[in-house]
Structures are given as C-alpha cells and as structure tokens.
Chains A and B, each alone.
Chain A
Amino acid sequence: MENLGPLSEDGLVRLLNHQGEVLQDQTFSPYAAHLTPEKLREFWHDMSVLRAWDMEAMSLQRQGELGLWVQSYGQEAAQIGSGHALRDPDFVFPSYREHGVAMTRGVDLPSILRIFRGLEHGSWVPAEHGFHLYTLVIGAHALHATGYAMGMDRDGLVASGDADKDGAVVCYFGDGATSQGDIAESMTFASVNKAPVVFFCQNNQFAISESVTRQTNIPLADRAKGWGMPSIRVDGNDVIACHAVTQWALEHARSGNGPVFIEALTYRMGAHTTSDDPTRYRTKADEEYWSERDPIDRLTTYLEGADELPDEFREAVAAEGKALGARTRESVRGWSKPATLEMFDHVYAEPHSTVQAERAWFERYEQSFADVEASN
C-alpha cells in the first residue's frame, strides 16, 4: 500500500498481526491479558457464526426474500471485539451495519431481518438489550448517544464509586459519517459536558463508492485532537486489539474522564449493500490485499498455532452457523404481512385526530371491498 494519509498504518495499535503473531503494546496489552484461549474461542465462535448468518441473509436477499441486505462481512473483529468489552450498564448506539455488536448484546439475529423485509423499522426493544435501534441517517445517532450519556451522568451512573455500576455509551459509525456535522456537534457536546461516550469509528474505507480519501486527508483519529479527547487508532481486523482498546476507552469514560475516539481501520469486504457494485470503484488487487488480512483467518491461524482450535469445536461452530441459517430462512419465509391498519399505529403516543380520522376512513374504505365481495 502506498502512503495514503488516512489509510496509513501510523500509530495503529495491533496485538495480533495477520500472520497470527502476538505483538506487545505497553498501554493496551494489559487490557488483553485476561483473554484466555477459551475467551478467544468465544470470539472466534461469534465471528464465525456472524459471518455464516450474514451470508445466509445475503442469499435470502438474492432469492427475493429481503428487499435489501447490509453485510457486516469483514468487520467482524471490530464489532465482536468491541462488543465483548461492553457490560450491562453500558448502552450502544449503532449505525446500521453493527449486526455483530447486536449479537453480543443478545439481539436475536434473525429478528434484524424484519427491518429488511419491510415489516417494520425497528425490531427489538432497545432498553432490553442496551442497544438502540439502527439509525439510517448517517451520524444523526451520535447526538442521541451523547445526550444519553449526559443522562447517565446525571443519573449517577458514571464515576459512582462502584465500578460495577458505572456505565458508558458506545456510538458506532463509519468513515463517511465523520464528514457529517452531527458527528462534529456530538464531539463538541460530549467534550464540554465530559459525557461518557466512546466514539467508535469503523473506518471500512468506503462510503458506498467513495474512498475515505474523499472524507479526510489525515487519519480520522487525529480529528479528535481538536476536541481535546484521547484517540486511538486500532487495527480493526485484530479482534484482540479491538477488544483491548475498547476496554481501555470504556474504563476511561465510565470513570468520568469524558469521551474517547477510536478509529478501527478495517475493510468492507462486501458491497455497501446488495444494491451496490464495488467492481465499479475498487480493484481486485485491493480486495485480495485485504482478504489476506481477514479478521477471522488471523485468529484461526493464532489458535491453530497454539493448538487451541480443536476439530470438534470447529465442527460444532459450523453446525451452529448452519442451524442458525436454517432458522433464519424459516423465520423469514414465515413472516406474513401484518394487518394493513397497523401502519397507523404508534405515530403518536396519544391519539391525534388526523391519524384517527385517516385510519377510520381507510378502514371503511377497505371494508367497502369486503362488502362488495360479500354481496356478489
């Protein structure tokens, strides 16, 4: 790779390279010290099951069962590594590609597809998972994350004196989002209010077709300096490093020290969505370069080298992925269209006369066809 400014590897925290070798970092290695082989197998399990499920969703879209699919393919380490650093009191504001984080927060993966089958706009209860709904307007949720964190602070959930009780917010967004005013405003609000927010930027190098070099001339993590907040650049395909830096950042935020910015440099191995065609704007060589840095492969290499990835475990994980795929397929095909009148539900918390009148009119209108049929 030539030196491309925002894509340079300067200052990148890396604890496991793509050859599967463990590297040391004075600040962050201690935050990975607790990762036993068993815990690393759990990461490997989650990343593998996530990818299998992601591919199943892709097939369902190709078969016409989903209107659209947005893959997390290639970003498994950034999502699973950071997601496993979260605890119950923490709260996540995802963008719309964070299926891996959703998984670590206990969201049932198949249920996510209700959104992409056009049944609803949000298919889980955020409070039950500490995981907000997907936000499709790029960067808009960073302000919600910041406000939520300000609320946690007011509610005594930051630097409470009881570390188990303390919480923080992690806000996920991409490289494209960093150009949005809402990201800049949220970093302003978070820093002046010392809000416990971890801004987790997955720099997957593309905003649909636009290279990150259309968003910035410098590494994105450097932007945080302007807000006076600590920032970390991490190898986003290194699940161990992603986990370690997120642990560090969450501790910093939960202890009342204010926000942190993490840039996880990764690569969107798939298309932006199923409507996209990456062959029009990126090269095969580029894809191959990043394929060699596949986040799952490097953990496989490491665990195999340490003789910690027994065949029966691998087979069990493969079977689990397959079973999840089957359950997903069955669920998706079984979801029928809700009653049409449901589209009028929940516009307001209290009755609104316009919605009520239109709903009543539409009900009569629909009924008029039934009446005609009945009389025929």
Chain B
Amino acid sequence: MAVKFFGQFLIEQGAITSAALLKAIDLQEQTNRKIGAVVYEMELMTQVGIAKVHQAQRNEDTRFGDKAVEMGFLSEDQLQQALTRQRNSHIYIGEALIKTGGLDKESLDTYLLQFKNDQQPYMVDKIALPAGITNQPIWEMMADLTNKMLTRGAGMSCKPGDCELIEELPSRNMVAEIGFSGNVSARYLLTTTPNSRKVIARSILQEEDIDSEPTEILDDSVMEFVNIVCGNIAAKAAQLGVQIDISPPIAHDQSDGAVLVPDNHTGLMFPIYLSDGEVFELAIFIHNEPA
C-alpha cells in the first residue's frame, strides 16, 4: 500500500525487469526534451539567451518559458508553439517500454487498468484551506494523504476537522517532524496522544501486543510512520509536477513545550478526532516565499 509510479508497479508485478525499465527511461530522456532545448532547436533562442534565462530562474521560482517571455526572448505565440512541439514529441513510460521491446500494447493496457485501481485509494480529495495560502493543492494533498494513511494504513478510527491558522502547536506527549525542501519549503509535524501513538506503533511493528514496548520504540514507530507518509507525499507531489525532498524524521517530547511557528512561516493545523474523543493534530509550517 503506497503511492507508486507506473514503472515501479510493473516491476513489482513481474511484468518487466529493472533493466527494461532503465532502457525505457533512457529513451524517454533522449526524447522528452526540456523547453530550452526545444526553443533552441526551433531557432527561437540562442544558447546565450537560454543561459540568461536559466541564470534569472536561480533567483525566483518561475518556469523557463514564462521567464523567457518576461525577459523579451520569446513572444507568447512562440512560447505556445514550442510548448505544443514539446507536448507532441513527449513519450510516457508505457510508450517507451513498447518502443524498447519491454512490454506489448495489450499488456500495457491491462497493467494500466490494474495500476489505476491500485492507486485509486490515493486520489486526492478536496480539503478547504484558509484563503490566501500559496500552493494550496500541495498542502491539501498532504493533509488528505495523511488522513488516508491514518485510516487505511494504520487502521485508525478518526475524522479530520477543519483547517485552522495557528501560531503555535499545542504541547503533546510526542511530536514527530519532517522537513520538506525542493520546490516548496515547509515543516510537517504530527502530534500524538497516548492512544494514537499505540495505534500507529501497532501498524508499524505489525504486532498486536505492544503494551510492554519501551517509549523509545513507540516514538520511533511514530517517526517511521511519518517518514512513510512523507515519502508517499513526495511521490504524490512528483505526480503533480512538484519536486519535494524530505529530511530524516526528528521527535519533540513534552518537555520541549509547544512548537512555535517560526517567523516568515504560515502555520496550518488540521485537528484529527479519534473515535474515543481524543484529539491530535497534523500541522504544516509553510515557509513563505519572498514577495
């Protein structure tokens, strides 16, 4: 049970070998060109102009084409022509596998259907966020996937509440945290109550009786659960075209007190209500981009 990409799914099903996947990826890398390469090939821009756009992109999060138009290297029409050419020559991994002999068309259709069913539990549902938050689909996906993995992965009976803006996260018996970097920068924090920690530990350790487990193992299980959730978030984000790297998990215990939202961050908190009345929280501290 995890967010996967199609090539990985095919290997797990025994449909292709890892060598066949790498061969198909090689073909994709040769065929699927970046927009900079496309505009050069179309003689719309010189290498010098392309380098200037890349340099400008280092200081802000904009797409190559948009920046090239803004800097006057391309007209809007030329950009659209280049994007169309890029789209028309793009090949997906399934097509690449057929072209390199790794898979036939009939098998591809069958496995695509199976893959769609396998990934159905991870389709993102809409979650309402306060107005004015940038990159909303990413934070919605994080909250939604966390809820799904708590209920379907850890088997927890819980219900998410409405998102709130916070300045500090309430002190709980343990908080597991992972940092996100890449296209977005944020901190992901999951608080625990004694009961939620036990439910999570049971699912990670795959053992029913965990009453004699030391706190260290229970906390470590929660950190691993958060690691798995965030790995799946990174995979889902990649499907949405957003690259996210995750740091190894860390833990805050009750003696650390409330976790404050740092300056220049927006704190989102999603309360999670357990069926026994306890509440714990998912929080995302979003690093605000410079205006």
Partners in one complex: no
